[in-house]
Amino acid sequence: MEEDDAEIYDGVRAHFPLTFGKQSKSQTPLEQIHNTTRRKPTTTSSHETQSTSLSSLSSSSKAWLDSLRPTPKSSSNPTTSLGPPPPSSTDSDSIDANVSIGPPRPPARGVDNDDDDGEVMVGPPRPPPGLDDEDDDGVLIGPPRPPPPADSDEEEEEENRYRIPMSNEIVLEGHSKVVSALAVDHTGSRVLSGSYDYSVRMYDFQGMNSRLQSFRQLEPSEGHQVRNLSWSPSADRFLCVTGSAQAKIYDRDGLTLGEFVKGDMYIRDLKNTKGHISGLTCGEWHPKAKETILTSSEDGSLRIWDVNDFKSQKQVIKPKLARPGRVPVTTCSWDREGKRIAAGIGDGSIQIWSLKPGWGSRPDVFVEKGHTDDITCLKFSSDGQILLSRSFDGSLKVWDLRQMKEALQVFENLPNNYAQTNIAFSPDEQLFLTGTSIERESKTGSMLCFYDRAKLELVSRVGISPTCSVVQCAWHPKLNQIFATAGDKSRGGTHILYDPTLSERGALVCVARAPRKKSLDDFEVQPVIHNPHALPLFRDQPSRKRQREKTLKDPLKSHKPELPITGPGFGGRVGVSKGSLLTQYLLKQGGMIKETWMEEDPREAILKYADAAEKDPKYIAPAYAQTQPDPVFAKSDSEDEEK
């Protein structure tokens, strides 16, 4: 009986592919998974100024090294045991005080040691004669000396002190243009990315597998670029800022909660309007208050909103300008406690307001020429002492908030082509990082540049993409993973840098989760249709030509107008000779309608009233009867002519 069941099972199993059914899952080790996402060593550190190549070797030394490479047993590395031990001798004078190099010396033949040294060549060949001592110091002979142990320990300590997680990399793709906005919630489970393709994609690390696909896609405002995204402090809602004048609030799952009102563009004073009248440039949720957000716009104003009231703002801030007009506010930011607001103005100035009782639009800190071009990002440090600014002029400036007259440090040669390029701090704020854009003539790709906050110097550069520009970046404190958005005119994605030994959750979870395999329940047999046109759904549509011709012949269905009657009338209609309607025919027959104008002359019809007008003038003559002057005629001159 068991054999029959097995035969039946084998017969049924033959109808299904081998990939279906219960199978033993082959567990892929995590090390192998992370090896597939490992980055190529493209980072350049500031400590790599010393070249490790042996470019300073002479030709004879290189030839000697090449001859030693295929025979590792006779290697002359000074750090290992160098050849066989020297022959033992009781004579202390014959033992060389230095370490023996190469094969052992031949036995003495009664010749002095000085002569032996001159005849037998020990080690690499000597440099050619004629070189000065200064040249000998500059030219490296033989293999390079190992660096002193103290320096190597210092370099290792310095690298371990930063612990930048960048050994592995994954990319969240899906956008068709550059990704201009990025937001990671505080728990590190959800990632939002907005792009110039007008869409927002939502990623969830807990529900995402190694295919790295988004679970929802939104289009906040049709035809407007997404410029900024910001989570609320409780991470249950997020703010979406687009190129339109109205910001939107969404819940955690991507459902719209509300849209802020648009102002009246015909009101001159921006404080009297209920909302922005031009496209938004930036927006950020309050770091502490769950009901307050801040937005900036191209109309030259900043507005503080209450999330519960979408009809009007709480406060309007107008920046200080050198001359009256409307200069766009390019970026805005809260400090860590939400007690100060910083804004970058289109004229290059940086302005800071302190939220205190009775505060107004007059800034507390005003830096007139912070940058020579538009400012793309402002970032406060958590202790409130440092302010970072990024601009289109290709620079990053570090400001001391206690002394804002001049910048502490200016980092140049950071190309920036996008208005959303930002700056981010590391979790311990020892480092800060920013991205660079691709230039047409440059051969280097886009990079993430890391700077030391205490020393104010470049620490490392990490290559992200050879063809796409880096716009937004973030270093999540709980995940210890670095996010960098990049893209160009045809594609966009979010790069996530992590280290399996340093990072937690986030990318580690979704990379190790394989896509779900199809089970037996997912198998669907494709039915064979023997009579394809039996159902009306699959039946070909019949020709409608005859039906259209029949409809045109029907006067009611075609709504054809009635033609005039040429002969005698019928159906309540009278012929044309007696009138087109029955009422007209009856009036004419009864004598109530007389049409005589066709038979009369118009001149005679007017002149027949001439005699009656002279005898009994009714209209014009009585009005001038008493004031009518008497006609006076001139006398004839014929008598004078005769005389």
On whether the CB atoms of residues 468 and 179 are closer than 8 A, the answer is: no
- What is the token pair recorded at 31? 């090390």
Three-state SS at 96: coil
Instruction: Summarize the confidence of residues 35-61 as an average pLDDT.
Output: 53
Q: Report whether pLDDT(167) > 70.
A: yes
233: pLDDT strictly greater than 70: yes
Residue among 65, 72, 44, 49 nearest 140 (CA): 65
Q: Answer whether residue 591 shows pLDDT above 90.
A: no
pLDDT value of position 576: 59
The beta strand positions in 222-291, using DSSP E, are 226-231, 237-242, 248-251, 256-259, 280-285
**Mean pLDDT of the region 16-29:** 57
Cβ neighbors of 608 (< 8 A, separation 6 or more) are none
Find the mean pLDDT for residues 165-173: 88
Report the chain's mean pLDDT, rounded to a whole number.
77
Handedness of CA 10, 13, 14, 19 (dihedral sign): negative
User: Residue written as tokens 């104003």?
Assistant: 301
Q: At CA 310, angle to CA 306 and CA 315, rounded to 5?
A: 45
C-alpha torsion sign, points 594, 598, 601, 602: positive
226: CB partners within 8 A, 6+ apart: 180, 181, 194, 195, 196, 198, 199, 200, 220, 240, 241, 242
Q: Judging by beta carbons within 10 Å of its beta carbon (0-12, 13-18, 19+), is residue 200 exposed, middle or buried? A: buried
The neighbour count for residue 593, using CB atoms within 10 Å, is 13
Dihedral of the alpha carbons of 447, 452, 453, 454, in degrees to the nearest 10? -170
For 38, which DSSP code?
A: B
Lowest mean pLDDT, pick from 277-281, 354-358, 453-457, 495-499: 354-358
Using CA atoms, how far apart are residues 134 and 139, in angstroms rounded to an integer?
A: 9
The fraction of the chain above a pLDDT of 90, given in percent, is 30
What is the token pair recorded at 240?
Answer: 């979406």
According to the model, what pLDDT value does residue 95 have? Answer: 40
Mean pLDDT value of segment 354-377? 86
500 versus 54: the higher-pLDDT residue is 500
102-111, 218-227, 454-463, 626-635: which has the minimum mean pLDDT? 102-111
Q: Are 226 and 238 in contact (CB under 8 A)?
A: no
- Under 8 Å CB-to-CB from 424, ≥6 apart: which residues? 379, 432, 433, 434, 473, 474, 475
